[in-house]
Amino acid sequence: MNAPPNSSAPPSPNLRERAQSRLHAKHTQTDVAKDASKALRVLFDLASSPATAHDALALLHELQVHQVELDLQNEELQSSRAELEASWTRQTQLMDASPSAQLILDGSGCLAACNVQALRCLAQSWPQLLGKPLDTWICPMDRPRVQAWRKNAEQRSQPISLGFSLQAGGATARAVWAAACANPLSPGVLISWVDAPDALA
């Protein structure tokens, strides 16, 4: 925001130096409220003197404009934050509403995020899953080809598919059909899967 036009001359450097000198005279004090009172007292003293009243009023106007600018910036930041939070909520709701299990793996192949369907499929809570490698839930015989598939997916923007068996928490193995591609936002991969049709299981 630009300051409104003002025909009066800007505060003289001498006035600023004097004001700053008085404000910093006792710089060891940490009480913000007291410092604010001192600043107002200095400004009042300057405004009370005919020799400096004009410059003091100009300085006061400048401070008021600056305060309004700060208030407007704060409003814009709060509005942007609210929009980001609303967007994050919508994205989370969409991800959780998906009928497929969805996971985000970091660059080392460990779980960084997942949706509700993935939690159900793996029959574990979020704290139990976070940071665990994908191999944790893959049947041993499928691990080599799943690792190769994941590493291949890290290099691709288009999804590549693979069928394999999951075995979470000692439960009976379940066949799934999965797709994976590189995470466009950070190192790692995006993976989604659904239960494999009987013909593919």
Q: What is the residue extent of each domain of the chain?
A: 13-92, 99-195
- Do the Cβ atoms of 114 and 132 come closer than 8 Å? no
- Homologous superfamily, domain 99-195: PAS domain (3.30.450.20)
C-alpha 179/C-alpha 38 separation (Å) is 66
Give 90's pLDDT tier (boundaries 50, 70, 90).
Answer: confident
CA nearest to 105, candidates 196, 194, 180: 180
Give 42's pLDDT tier (boundaries 50, 70, 90).
Answer: confident
CA nearest to 117, candidates 107, 133, 129, 103: 103
CA end-to-end distance (rounded Å), the chain? 64
Average of per-residue pLDDT across 179-190: 94
With a cut of 70, say whether residue 198 has pLDDT above it: no
Average of per-residue pLDDT across 111-136: 90
Task: State if pTM tops 0.75.
Answer: no
With a cut of 50, say whether residue 9 has pLDDT above it: no
Average of per-residue pLDDT across 138-148: 93
With a cut of 70, say whether residue 170 has pLDDT above it: no
Element housing 91 (H / E): helix 53-97
What does the mean pLDDT of the chain come to? 79
| Inter-axis angle of helices 32-48 and 53-97, nearest 10 | 150
